[in-house]
Structure 1
């Protein structure tokens, strides 16, 4: 009996740990890869010391963003229970309690701030600013039309800025502009997919969707999509790097079109991280873009 009881306790502890990791949404950590942009475009990709710093920055931002996801799930627990997909998350499904989630986020956030400060105090400040911004988003800004998607974009900008601060390189205005536009592109597609859920009878969706219409989001997407392509193209034309960077434009155009295709035909726009992780043509395209950038920036 004692052995059985010990095994049950061990199983419960393991399941709780798994649920706590799940609540930090590891699949969404791909969004933090923007931290490496500064390393790539500052011609420091093969600088081992700076590479180690960027890797550390990536994992630290994963902890910052994971902490915010926990808070967001606590705030939205009742709404998520009514959502066809989000109801399976650890909190709304009951695998962990709100009390456990609160204790967990306090510990993780505190340790992440302390670790970030040891690397770079300014990086720690940016991480804290990101945490405050997205927490404010969870409580209020996600219910303010237009500002909701702009806040998401600002969160990506803080990630990119954190990457530049950590390795002590100049912040490129092109990096910031392309980051803002691309993140708004993803956020608007997320809202569009959520609107489609409402049209299909889902009553547990965000209140903010009442302020959006398919026509409005389509108009905004037209502007943001074309602006993203033009901003990246202008960067390749006028940037300080090789003129051959123009050759990477087709990868950007294909990536955007492929993402739109997947979001529209497979109903995955609400989960951009799943598209980035599961669509083979898009993954191959991104890898080819990265390889092309490395070859052009470092050898041509």
Structure 2
């Protein structure tokens, strides 16, 4: 079936299912919440741990609670977005295979699934320090606005997506009792804008079908996106440097900056190489978690941050190394 053929598919002609339907129903419901995207929460929420020696069981348990909250919240958003976008998704060469767009999951079943996920989110929230969970509430409200309005405004769409990752870092800091670093939030926000722009860049290469799937692409062009990607990349690196030189990264932020910056720059340049030279970046999670060079640079960077956290707890190990 071609894209033009797919445009003739209407809702009544699609196969409808119920919650009692046999076969792939459970699998389709799992696919609907996109478990392949869950690693984003495992990466973004605990980023606040990079600020110092906060690795203890209390902090880690709170961090696990925060990760679970955002995983459920993101799952709800995925279901709502797929319901709202089912007609446009049928015009996309890849997204047309999603459970709702393909008709394997009906709209009533998807709505019921979203209600169950929302109930689970509410139950999990009250099991922890629920007063600190306001970033999750903000994320849900922001994405409801995104699904019905903001996604149709060029540039605003990528800024809203990036705000979701900033909220993840904020919740990680609040839940773990870690001082919130504005520099870290800015670094994550700028990097998220850069990656979202990279996705738009890749979508621009899909031709007219992409414009029908995402009308906001009319507000983008390859040269414009390339310039914005470079600007946000610079902001992300400068903000990361500011974070490691701030009070949040005491007492060995300068050591961490010296050790990690080569890996940060390499990972960033490798992503830009994938995006601009190799034409990738359509699925940021796939790109960042599957590319061995990006993963290796990230692991080495994490190792260096963990090492400086150990130094923070044992100052006598470093002798005359520079510190704050």
TM-score, normalised relative to structure 1: 0.90
**How far, CA to CA, are the matches of 2:74 and 2:125 in structure 1?**
13
Are 1:288 and 2:300 matched, yes or no? yes
- Match of residue 3 from structure 1: none
- Match of residue 29 from structure 2: 20
- Match of residue 30 from structure 1: 39
Are 1:39 and 2:11 matched, yes or no? no
Change (3 A) 1:12 1:59: same
Q: Report the 3-state secondary structure (helix = DSSP H, G, I; strand = E; otherwise coil) of the residue aligned with 2:207.
A: helix
**How far, CA to CA, are the matches of 1:14 and 1:113 in structure 2?**
30
Change (3 A) 1:211 1:14: same
Mapping 1:64-83, distance limit 5 Å: 64-83=73-92
- Match of residue 3 from structure 2: none
**How far, CA to CA, are the matches of 1:104 and 1:77 in structure 2?**
16
Q: Report the 3-state secondary structure (helix = DSSP H, G, I; strand = E; otherwise coil) of the residue aligned with 1:235.
A: helix
Task: Give 1:202 shift.
Answer: 4.2
Task: Give 1:12 shift.
Answer: 4.8
Change (3 A) 1:12 1:263: farther
Q: Report the 3-state secondary structure (helix = DSSP H, G, I; strand = E; otherwise coil) of the residue aligned with 1:90.
A: coil
- Match of residue 137 from structure 1: 146
Change (3 A) 1:281 1:10: same
Contact 1:154 1:180 in 2 (8 A): yes
Task: Give 1:263 shift.
Answer: 2.4
Number of corresponding residues: 290
Q: Deviations over 1:164-198 (max 9, x none)?
A: 11122221111111111111111110111111112
CA RMSD for the aligned pairs? 2.0
Q: Deviations over 1:74-113 (max 9, x none)?
A: 1110111110011111111111111111000011012112
Are 1:244 and 2:278 matched, yes or no? no
Q: Deviations over 1:24-51 (max 9, x none)?
A: 1111112212111123424212x01211
Q: Deviations over 1:54-84 (max 9, x none)?
A: 1121122111001101101111101111100
**How far, CA to CA, are the matches of 1:99 and 1:176 in structure 2?**
38
- Match of residue 113 from structure 1: 122
TM-score, normalised relative to structure 2: 0.84
- Which structure carries more helix by proportion? 1
Are 1:50 and 2:59 matched, yes or no? yes
Change (3 A) 1:266 1:105: farther
Q: Deviations over 1:200-237 (max 9, x none)?
A: x5453201011112222122112111111222223334
